[in-house]
Amino acid sequence: MVSVTVQVFINLKAKQLSYFVRAYWDRRIPYREVDLYFWDTMEEWHQLRDRNKQPFSAKERVFWHLLHQVHFWSEQKLLDDPFLRSELQTCVDYLEGDGQYPLDCIGIRP
C-alpha cells in the first residue's frame, strides 16, 4: 500500500466501508468485523507515503466521518438509533455514488 495515492486508497476503502456498514445493519456480520476493519484501515493509512501532502476530497471527508462514527458509537446505538442510522445511511449512499453530500459531515484525516 505504500505507493498508493490517497485518492486510490479512499476509493478502495470507501467501497469496503459501505459493505461492512450495510452487512452489519443487515446482521450478516458481527460488530467485531467492523471494528477489525477500522483497525486494519488505520494501519494501512499510516503506511501511505506523503498522505498529508495530498489534497482532501469530499469523498475522503465522508469516508473519515463514517469510519469514525462506526467506531465511536456502541453496537446497539448503530443498530437501533433511527437518527444516527439515517445520518450514516446518507454517508453510505454518498460513498456509493447514490446520494448527496451529507450535512454536518466533519471528516478529517487521522
Read off the pLDDT of residues 66-87 as tens digits, 9 standing for 90 and up: 999 999 999 999 999 999 999 9
For CA atoms 39, 62, 102, 19, the dihedral sign is: negative
User: Tell me, what's the pLDDT at 49?
Assistant: 82
Cell 484525516 appears where? 109
User: Tell me, what's the pLDDT at 14?
Assistant: 98
Instruction: Say which residues have a Cβ less than 8 Å from residue 53's Cβ, sequence separation at least 6.
Output: none
User: Tell me, what's the pLDDT at 1?
Assistant: 44
User: Tell me, what's the pLDDT at 2?
Assistant: 47
User: Tell me, what's the pLDDT at 61?
Assistant: 95
What pTM was computed for the model?
0.92
Q: What residues in the chain have per-residue pLDDT under 70?
A: 1-3
Q: Hey, how many other C-beta atoms are within 10 angstroms of the C-beta on 36?
A: 13
